[in-house]
Amino acid sequence: MTTRIIGTGSSLPKQTVTNDDLSKIMDTSDEWISSRTGIRERHLAKEETTASLSVEAAGKALQNAGIRAEEVDLLIVATITGDYVTPSTACEVQAGLGASRAVAFDINAACSGFMFALHTAHAYLQTGIYRTALVVGAETLSKIMDWSDRSTCVLFGDGAGAAVVRAFGEDGTEKEGMGKGGSEKGCGGLLAFEQGSDGFRGKVLACEGRKNHNPLVQNPLVPSYVGMDGQEVYKFAVSTVPASILRVLDRAGVDAGEIKYFVLHQANIRIIQSVAKRLKADVGKFPLSLDHCGNVSAASVPILLDEMNQKGMLEKGDKIVMSGFGGGLTWASAVIEW
Ligand code: UT7
Q: What is the structure's pLDDT at 215?
A: 95
pLDDT higher than 80, residue 268: yes
Q: What CATH architecture applies to the domain 191-337?
A: 3-Layer(aba) Sandwich (3.40)
Q: Mean pLDDT of all residues in the chain?
A: 94
Q: What is the structure's pLDDT at 235?
A: 97
Q: What is the structure's pLDDT at 4?
A: 96
pLDDT in tens, 156-196: 999 999 999 999 986 666 654 333 333 334 467 999 999 99
Q: What is the structure's pLDDT at 172?
A: 61
Q: What is the structure's pLDDT at 221?
A: 85
Cα 149 to ligand 1 centre (Å): 11
Q: Is 206 in the pocket of ligand 1 (CB under 6 A)?
A: no
Q: What is the structure's pLDDT at 177?
A: 38
What's the CA gap between 246 and 337, in Å, rounded?
Answer: 16
Choosing from 19, 64, 91, 111, the catalytic residue is 111
Please report, rounded to a whole number, the percentage of residues in the chain having pLDDT higher than 70: 95
Burial group, residue 100, by CB count within 10 angstroms (0-12, 13-18, 19+): exposed
> Which residue, 4, 48, 245, 20, is CA-closest to 142?
48
Choosing from 265, 268, 293, 309, the catalytic residue is 265
Average confidence (pLDDT) over 264-288? 98
Q: Is 326 in the pocket of ligand 1 (CB under 6 A)?
A: yes
Q: Is 295 in the pocket of ligand 1 (CB under 6 A)?
A: yes
Q: Is 30 in the pocket of ligand 1 (CB under 6 A)?
A: no
Cα 236 to ligand 1 centre (Å): 15
108 is catalytic: no
Encode burial over 107-128: b for 16+ CB neighbours within 10 A, e otherwise: bebbbbbbbbbbbbbbebbeee
Q: What is the structure's pLDDT at 182?
A: 34
Average confidence (pLDDT) over 52-78? 98
Q: What is the structure's pLDDT at 306?
A: 98
What residue owns the CA closest to ligand 1's atom 8?
A: 234
**H-helix segments, the chain:** 19-23, 30-37, 50-65, 89-97, 113-126, 150-153, 230-252, 269-278, 290-293, 300-310
Q: What is the structure's pLDDT at 176?
A: 42
Q: Which amino acid is at 237?
A: A
Q: What is the structure's pLDDT at 174?
A: 67
111 is catalytic: yes
What's the CA gap between 94 and 250, in Å, rounded?
Answer: 37
What's the CA gap between 102 and 272, in Å, rounded?
Answer: 36
Q: Is 233 in the pocket of ligand 1 (CB under 6 A)?
A: yes
Give pTM, 2 decimals: 0.95
> Which residue, 300, 307, 242, is CA-closest to 271?
242
Q: Which of 139, 151, 233 to mutate to test the pocket of ligand 1 (most atoms within 8 A of CB)?
A: 151
Question: Does CATH place domain 2-186 in 3.30.43.10?
Answer: no
Average confidence (pLDDT) over 13-22? 98
Average confidence (pLDDT) over 77-94? 98
Average confidence (pLDDT) over 125-145? 97
Cα 237 to ligand 1 centre (Å): 15
Average confidence (pLDDT) over 225-253? 97
pLDDT higher than 80, residue 113: yes
Average confidence (pLDDT) over 99-124? 98
Cα 295 to ligand 1 centre (Å): 14
The residues with which 307 forms a beta bridge, in sequence order, are none
64 is catalytic: no
Q: Is 13 in the pocket of ligand 1 (CB under 6 A)?
A: no
Q: What is the structure's pLDDT at 222?
A: 87
| Residue ranges of the chain assigned to CATH 3.40.47.10 | 2-186, 191-337
Q: What is the structure's pLDDT at 227?
A: 97
Q: What is the structure's pLDDT at 266?
A: 98
Q: What is the DSSP string of 246-306?
A: HHHHHHHT--GGG-SEEEE--S-HHHHHHHHHHTT--GGGS---HHHH-B-GGGHHHHHHH
Q: Is 333 in the pocket of ligand 1 (CB under 6 A)?
A: no
Cα 231 to ligand 1 centre (Å): 7
Q: Which distant-in-sequence residues (6+ apart) come within 8 Å of 57 by Cβ?
A: 9, 10, 11, 136, 138, 160, 161, 162, 302, 306
Average confidence (pLDDT) over 28-39? 98
Average confidence (pLDDT) over 63-82? 98
Q: Is 238 in the pocket of ligand 1 (CB under 6 A)?
A: no
Q: Which atom of ligand 1 is nearest to the CA of 300?
A: 1
Cα 151 to ligand 1 centre (Å): 5
pLDDT higher than 50, residue 41: yes
Q: Is 28 in the pocket of ligand 1 (CB under 6 A)?
A: yes
